[in-house]
Structure 1
């Protein structure tokens, strides 16, 4: 068995002699040979290298999600001494969501330009900025504009997801992409309940007067993940040229359909994750009269949604992404109808149970929609190769570039769904002092997504792409 060729940052060295495969050295490198669709290569070296990069990607993305969603917890510390009403707090949770969404496109392109491993290190280092900043400024008397800046800078954590997913997509063969992307995204999404759990522990022990402890805990974790990524991750050459691919896919209608579907799944997950605690505070303030009680319930939904995401990807591998996505949106519509009913009848138990189900469904839908992206572009590549007689290898390479680009674009648009969720809640509570109008809007949107999934990807038609 032979080791695979590796290009390091130092002087070029000749390939190693034949012999047992050995681990690559723990230093900066770019793999010059990467053929995950080749079964022999995958069994010999590919699977091991891909698994190592996957778990390290999960670790760094997890921390990124925690920093991005930190304001979903910090707003619970902002008592009367900060002078911020419910609408102002919803704005503080919407701002990092918007910035993170905007950063997902350049973060995706950065993977192709600088390499997955290299950009992972840089993006991890950038997390130190919002974490240190909020640790310095967060205290009673701080201006609201300063808090808005601190929340905006936290958006850098949201960009990590897109670059991480684009990177891992290049490591795995088509048959395993759903599972791999689901694990990567699910492990990253767990950063949301993780930071909320840490915030709960601080509230329960040190109290609401010590919000600075939360970012201070994460500073050494950021430094640790940066070092590990620098030592053990790899660059894959097939992730290059993402920028041109982004321009190419904008002319494809499937790009906008998939982006809308992902807005419905991931946008729901991240939007509810940021807003859930504030919704509980505003709607059930008599039953949940302390930040600790709210935090105990806030962490449950994002945890369930994160754990469900890998199952969505795995089921999509087996059953088809479009089928799983359609079933998910239909169930999300039912769950939202139950939430609306519980809100109008003021039934906290039903409200919490239905919201927990909605979080689980959004996680499943996250996994299934992302699995649809590489399957969609592979089906398009095969159809194109049959139509014009192009080489299958070239078609596969184009499909890989386009899928990576769409992962970034859909991730950016999907994250803006989190902004829309927070804006919908803010407006609903401002005008009616409850979330009923927002729930009606969510219900209508899930029904639209169900119809769109069926019409484009499942309705019998000679133009339908198979295998999506």
Structure 2
């Protein structure tokens, strides 16, 4: 049929088998790493634009006439749209090709950036600001397409590191735009938000051009509606979505809200807030690949479990600092909380392909059949898990908004987050680490004393 014709050309790779060691060493690794480098850059810019309004609100003084609750809602709108577009962005990779979609999605970032440059001034209606904030959500979709694309390039044994590096490099877009804003506020003052936008426009163009020159499309990667339906019916997809709310949802939610909390709860000026907000997201982004590497070595479930315990402890310090009105204590808890959420991003995302690989083995599959099943289901589930996880950022900003409306502080919101992390800890242990009461087969019974939970190594 002629349907295959559009997939011909020097930028379409017809054969791709990263699990073949010989293929990987002779050709695959070099190509995969090249695509990974460009993917990191494009996703990095996407995250920066998605996070744009968490920075722009620092420039919005009293003359804009928007109260703290309204600013939290602006940030939440960007988070909501970014979460929703992740599902179609996931399927776009197979439909149009990873290279082609990266070019388009990178260039599309010019739309919200130019729109913000046009409207960013006192006197603009709140509805207009909401619309432009919603447009920045397309930057959040870049994560889903980028991760789905890179997942196809690497073998299972390398996915934890590759996905962690890809996501971590993208996540660094959050602190980088905050640092650029800090530089602008410190030199030109908080009345020059358009400078920030003009800085990013040429980088957006550069990312799109580089994707066109250096990336490839994988012809074997195709959308599988059957896999999408199967993954949507699989309980593990929804369990991992819930856990990803706790890790990535926390990372993006706290990164968006940090500056507003410092301004409105601790009376920091825009410059003072900007000088602190980048620290947690920067360290959290840098540590994400380490979370993936630790998961490769010790099992994602184990790393995720203790990570939630650490996040709970950090949240307890945040609550105490909030009650005591101590900025120092608040920062001692809040910055490690964001860092741990970044570590957990890497470990939870590594669990996804591992879970479906383990499930294939439990179903009696082996060899290439098991690997194909794992790739098929993990690829289909990643977009949905990423979208639901990002909604956690929306929940955090709405919780802060309600807490500030009710009590003038974020203490009540943080108490809710602490309870949520306790539930995440319990779910991780119960589903992926708790030993079952009895082995499933006679052969397992013979070695019961050495038996591990089915998903302990995911």
Q: Answer whether TM exceeds 0.5 for this pair.
A: yes
* Correspondence for 1:259: 241
1:93 to 65, 72, 75: 75
User: Is the 8 Å Cα contact of residues 317 and 332 (structure 2) preserved in structure 1?
Assistant: no
Query: Per-residue displacement from partner, 1:274-293 (whole Å, max 9, x unpaired)?
Result: 000000111110xx2x2111
* Correspondence for 1:123: 105
Query: Per-residue displacement from partner, 1:323-382 (whole Å, max 9, x unpaired)?
Result: 000000011011101110111111211111111110111011000000000000111112
* Correspondence for 1:317: 296
Secondary structure of 1:239's counterpart equals: coil
* Correspondence for 2:445: none
Looking at structure 2, the residues matched to 318 and 226 of structure 1 have their Cα atoms a distance apart, in angstroms, of 35
* Correspondence for 2:60: 78
**Which structure 2 residues correspond to residues 13-92 of structure 1 after superposition, within 5 A?**
29-92=11-74
Runs of 4+ in 1 over 4 A off after TM superposition: 7-12
RMSD of equivalent CA atoms: 1.5
2:354 is aligned with 1:375: yes
Secondary structure of 1:63's counterpart equals: helix
Moved more, 239-248 or 260-269: 239-248
* Correspondence for 1:305: 284
Looking at structure 1, the residues matched to 223 and 42 of structure 2 have their Cα atoms a distance apart, in angstroms, of 23
* Correspondence for 1:407: 382
Moved more, 136-145 or 458-467: 458-467
User: Is the 8 Å Cα contact of residues 280 and 339 (structure 2) preserved in structure 1?
Assistant: yes
* Correspondence for 1:465: 454
* Correspondence for 2:312: 333
Moved more, 247-256 or 419-428: 247-256
* Deviation of the 1:123 alpha carbon: 0.6
User: Is the 8 Å Cα contact of residues 170 and 238 (structure 1) preserved in structure 2?
Assistant: no
Call closer, same or farther: CA 1:412–1:242 in 2, change over 3 Å: farther
User: Is the 8 Å Cα contact of residues 326 and 450 (structure 1) preserved in structure 2?
Assistant: yes
* Correspondence for 2:342: 363
* Correspondence for 2:202: 220
2:281 is aligned with 1:292: no
In the superposition, the TM-score normalised over structure 1's length comes to 0.92
* Correspondence for 2:446: none
Query: Per-residue displacement from partner, 1:77-122 (whole Å, max 9, x unpaired)?
Result: 0001100000000001000100000000000011111111111111
* Deviation of the 1:11 alpha carbon: 7.6
* Correspondence for 1:189: 171
Call closer, same or farther: CA 1:295–1:414 in 2, change over 3 Å: same
Looking at structure 2, the residues matched to 164 and 314 of structure 1 have their Cα atoms a distance apart, in angstroms, of 19
Secondary structure of 2:127's counterpart equals: helix
2:421 to 441, 446, 455: 446
User: Is the 8 Å Cα contact of residues 305 and 359 (structure 1) preserved in structure 2?
Assistant: yes
Secondary structure of 2:363's counterpart equals: helix
* Correspondence for 1:16: none
* Correspondence for 2:88: 106
Call closer, same or farther: CA 1:82–1:237 in 2, change over 3 Å: same
Query: Per-residue displacement from partner, 1:403-454 (whole Å, max 9, x unpaired)?
Result: 1121111100010000000000000010011111101100000000000000
2:426 is aligned with 1:437: no
User: Is the 8 Å Cα contact of residues 9 and 29 (structure 1) preserved in structure 2?
Assistant: no
Looking at structure 2, the residues matched to 99 and 59 of structure 1 have their Cα atoms a distance apart, in angstroms, of 22
Looking at structure 2, the residues matched to 168 and 261 of structure 1 have their Cα atoms a distance apart, in angstroms, of 22
Moved more, 269-278 or 344-353: 344-353
Call closer, same or farther: CA 1:178–1:195 in 2, change over 3 Å: same
1:274 to 233, 236, 256: 256
Looking at structure 1, the residues matched to 375 and 306 of structure 2 have their Cα atoms a distance apart, in angstroms, of 27
* Correspondence for 1:241: 223
Count matched residues: 440
Query: Per-residue displacement from partner, 1:234-291 (whole Å, max 9, x unpaired)?
Result: 1123431244322211111111100000010000000000000000111110xx2x21
User: Is the 8 Å Cα contact of residues 40 and 167 (structure 2) preserved in structure 1?
Assistant: yes
Secondary structure of 1:141's counterpart equals: coil
Looking at structure 2, the residues matched to 65 and 123 of structure 1 have their Cα atoms a distance apart, in angstroms, of 12
Query: Per-residue displacement from partner, 1:27-61 (whole Å, max 9, x unpaired)?
Result: x5111111111111111011111110111100000
2:163 is aligned with 1:163: no
User: Is the 8 Å Cα contact of residues 265 and 409 (structure 2) preserved in structure 1?
Assistant: yes
